[in-house]
Amino acid sequence: MAKRIIISGGGTGGHIFPAVAIAHALKRLAPDTQLLFVGAIGRMEMEKVPAAGYEIVGLDIQGINRQSLWKNLALPFKLYKSLRRARQIIRDFKPDVAVGVGGYASGPLLLAASGMGIPCLIQEQNSYAGITNKRLGRKVDRICVAFEGMDRFFSKDKLLFTGNPIRRESVDIQHKRAEALEYFGMSPGRKTILLTGGSLGARTLNECMLQGLGSLVAADVQLIWQCGQYYYEALKPMVAEKYPDRITLTAFLHRMDLAYAAADIIIARAGAGTIAELCAVGKPVILVPSPNVAEDHQTKNAKALVDRNAAVMVTDAEAPLHLIQTALQLLGDEARCSTLRTHIAELAILDADEVIAREVLQLANRKD
């Protein structure tokens, strides 16, 4: 009999892409599986999940606003409303398993599902568990993690080390360098930096690059720069029109595989999903953790790689003074690049999506 599975969460690409990867893996392993996504109204999963071919329904839920406490006044009412809506979704869909991947919608859906006796699994992507997942951890049946030492947050008997699901098509870079350089209009004779600020862009990274363009051009370096939709129109006249033969500026990278293939080094934030892809790609990486995340988990993610000599880290505060200089020094140090390539590739886990999907299906069979 076909299994019915709800996958909840989202908010950023770091939650959405793993969720979709798990869904794809479930369909590969059990093609008759029926899937329903639950997201947060107004968040990017409401667009990205249907684009990936899956049905999604939304909850009217928000996260805690740490900059403006008065904006949290409606949160208890939205949480109550979302719990009621989540229970109704569960009654209508009748899932065999509920899966949470993090993000606003994950909390209410998993709370409702666990309270209604539905087997539940959460996928904790970061090296430091967030508040919601720590609370859910006491109620769910299985917790899939991507970093060692997570028993300091969760019951050890519920843990399964899986790694983070990755977009397989994005890390398929073998024998694509020539195609990639042509795609982005880059020269084979120059070193290439890829800067990616994630699906939403990153202000600090964009400002650092804008200030450092002269240094990069003087060093005969070329740049693939994913800046985010919010920043693109403002940066375009200052960047793409001034350096058309050196810089490819884009709001979003539709061919991530070619961007990775073209790069000699990569500068990125330290979201868990990004790190999982970077390990699979195996290129030298400079991580600039975002300071605007719960429990500063991106710094902890980055340190997990730095401690294994698998990446370089520049803090967000240090980046304006040191990021460009660090990147140029790394480009000129082949021995250091070789060490970083070796160590980061050792951390790659390529089948996390199927390992998690098999665990989900086992929970579904256990319900029978």
C-alpha to C-alpha distances, 116 to 81, 99, 122, 286, 363, nearest whole angstrom: 17, 14, 16, 45, 15
What count of other Cβ atoms lies within 10 Å of the Cβ of residue 237?
A: 9
The DSSP 8-state label assigned to residue 292 in this structure reads: S
CB 267 within 8 A of CB 193: yes
DSSP reduced 3-state for 244: coil
Residue 127 region by backbone torsions, left for phi larger than 0, else alpha for psi between -120 and 50, else beta: alpha
**Chain-centre distance for alpha carbon 322:** 25
Q: Identify residue 206 by its one-letter amino acid code.
A: N
CB 282 within 8 A of CB 262: no
Helix ranges (H only) for 118-271 are: 131-136, 177-183, 203-218, 229-235, 256-262
Per the annotation, where are the binding residues for UDP-N-acetyl-alpha-D-glucosamine?
12-14, 126, 167, 199, 298
C-alpha to C-alpha distances, 28 to 5, 168, 334, nearest whole angstrom: 14, 13, 40
CB 196 within 8 A of CB 274: yes
Angle, to 10 degrees, between the axis of helix 297-306 and the axis of helix 272-281?
20
Q: In what order do the strands lie in the sheet with 312-313?
A: 247-250, 221-226, 191-196, 265-268, 285-287, 312-313
